[in-house]
Amino acid sequence: MAEPRENWSGRTGFIIAAIGSAVGLGNIWRFPYVAYDNGGGAFMVPYVIALLTAAIPLLFLDYIVGHKYRSAPPRAYKKMVKSAQFVGWWQTLVSFVIAIYYAAVIVWAGSYMFFSFGQKWGEDTTTFFVSDFVQHTGELTSVFVPQMFTGLIIVWALSILIMFGGIRKGVELANKICIPLLMVLFGIMVFKALNLPGSEIGLNAFFEPNWARMSDPNVWLAAYGHVFFSLSVGFGIMVTYASYLKKNTNLTGAGLVVGFANSSFELIAGIGIFAAIGFMAQSTGQDVSEVASGGVGLAFFVFPKIISTMGASGDFVGFLFFGSLVIAGISSLISILEVPISAFQDKFDWSRKKAVTVIVGVCAIISISAFSTGSSLVLVDVIDHFANNIGIVAGGLLSIIWVTWFNRHKIPGLLAHSNRISSIKLGGAWVFMLTVITPTVLTIALGMKLVDLVQNPYEGYSTTILLLFGWGVVVFFGLGAFILTRMRGVHDDEDDKSRLIDDTI
């Protein structure tokens, strides 16, 4: 007999968990640089427009589908449109793959928390990270890296412990601890950064508007691309989280709180990061443009350099910064894992313990085997690029096309469900943004990325690496989704009946 579906303790628990999922590593190390590189203060205009016209409308769709059909993506979409189960499995497998490499990045950040004491990276921070720590060679290698192995064991042990606790005692409780702790740690770090000499130089660079950049379509694509990834839409998390909500929860109100809380944290992150970059620019006599970078470069090359210019006080700032990355990473990882766990519970009627053991166990085995070697940097870089730029974008685009284009008769039912329980009513504007604006932007972004990846091998990696871990991952999403869709689930007959009822309402 199937276990009864769990619920959040209340709307607040859900909002905290949703914010925990949305606020991840990208908010801290990606947004500040994207904003700076795309017009500074002027970037906030396309960013807010993208948030309102694409990210939040799609977030509302995820919430409504998950809440109305009370299932993880594969079963939720199947209950709505039988053929859309494929979309749900695509999104689920994207989450599965992201979880595998996300754990490695958490280990990097966790290790640097302790490297901060005594600033063990020395003067050449890039060589320390690339050669001494992850033992990167530029190609695939089986060289064993003990510190990665130990760290991954700890991360996966913590993850399985949290996931065994279920929704209230595991996911919700972990987020209620993680999110306030993240805000305290990062808040102190930002305060320290703002009081550094030269911080105003970085802030001026971050906020100074370059209005001319707004005429560049790539800036608008960057804004839409970032908010799309940032809110955790398009790969099943918010569908799954919404399925655990109680029946009369205010969906649109919760969505706006999550959307603007996530954006507010990104803005605060930008202030803290660029205040520190301004300090380094002044200390070294460099221009901000020579110091600023995003992604791995910011976190593990640039920020340790900034810390090294602070003297002994840098140890504490480093601990705060990398501690924030760890907390943000853990809160996001457990949300990512919840998608395949819930999906397999739905499909095969597994118990929570069995689903957690199998899914997290398989993720852990693959993760520890692949990322305990000197290949970890190559694998994270390639898999992340393809999973985000193709997997997530395609997942979001497919969900829109299947629901709003091919099955437009479903839209009135979705609107009625949301408007019955939500404070902010949805109507023609939401439908227009979801059916025209969002898919247009995503199609352009996906098309441009596919052309670029075909014409220019990503980061100059070998064809073998790109075929196996780039395009191979995309094939895995499609082939895996097809196979899982074809497999018979224990609730198929029940879902067929409920779909017929839903179509007659």
Q: Which tens digit of pLDDT belongs to each residue from 220-259?
A: 888 887 887 788 888 899 999 999 999 889 999 999 999 9
Q: Rounded distance, CA 162 to CA 158, Å?
A: 6
The number of C-alpha atoms within 13 Å of 495 and in the hemisphere containing its C-beta is 22
Q: Rounded distance, CA 14 to CA 186, Å?
A: 22
Q: Which of 161, 141, 278 is nearest to 130 (CA)?
A: 141
Contacts of 349 (CB under 8 A, 6+ apart): 2, 490, 491
Q: Rounded distance, CA 265 to CA 477, Å?
A: 31
pLDDT for the residue 227: 85
The pair of structure tokens assigned to 257 is 């709180």
Question: Which residues of the chain register pLDDT less than 70?
Answer: 1-2, 503-505
Tell me whether residue 287 is exposed, middle or buried, using C-beta atoms within 10 angstroms of its C-beta: 0 to 12, 13 to 18, 19 or more. exposed
pLDDT for the residue 388: 87
Residue with tokens 């039988």: 82
Residue with tokens 């393809």: 386
pLDDT for the residue 282: 92
pLDDT for the residue 15: 94
Q: Mark 354-388 as b/e (b = at least 16 C-beta within 10 Å).
A: ebbbebbeebbeebbebbbbbbbbbbbbbbbbbbb
Contacts of 183 (CB under 8 A, 6+ apart): none
Residue-wise pLDDT for 83-93, tens only, equals 999 999 999 99
pLDDT for the residue 135: 92
Tell me whether residue 428 is exposed, middle or buried, using C-beta atoms within 10 angstroms of its C-beta: 0 to 12, 13 to 18, 19 or more. exposed
pLDDT for the residue 311: 84
- H/E stretch holding 162 reads helix 146-164
In whole angstroms, what separates CA 414 from the centre of its chain?
Answer: 25
